[in-house]
Amino acid sequence: GEEFCIVLPRTRLKDSIKLIQSIEGIVRELKIPHLSAIGSNIVTVSIGLASLVPQIMQSAKELIKLADQQLYCAKDQGRGRVVY
């Protein structure tokens, strides 16, 4: 699977959640065939959301690390889901 990052500056957490849930639902509704997938015969997306108010001397790597952790939580829970 591929990994993508969407950065939403100055976006409230609740608005980010709505957006990513919408993205997940739209992809699911497309029912794109995925013949080599394990556990599902259609393309799904697993999304990990992290939100962070940056502090002085804080690296963007921290935010990416948090989002990556959430992504793997989503995948571990069965894929095709959103975790935040």
pLDDT at 15: 96
54 token code pair: 């940056």
pLDDT at 65: 93
Helix ranges, the chain (H) = 13-30, 60-76
To 5 degrees, how large is the angle CA 41–CA 45–CA 46? Answer: 120
pLDDT along the chain (84 residues), means of 10: 87 95 95 83 92 87 93 89 91
pLDDT at 49: 95
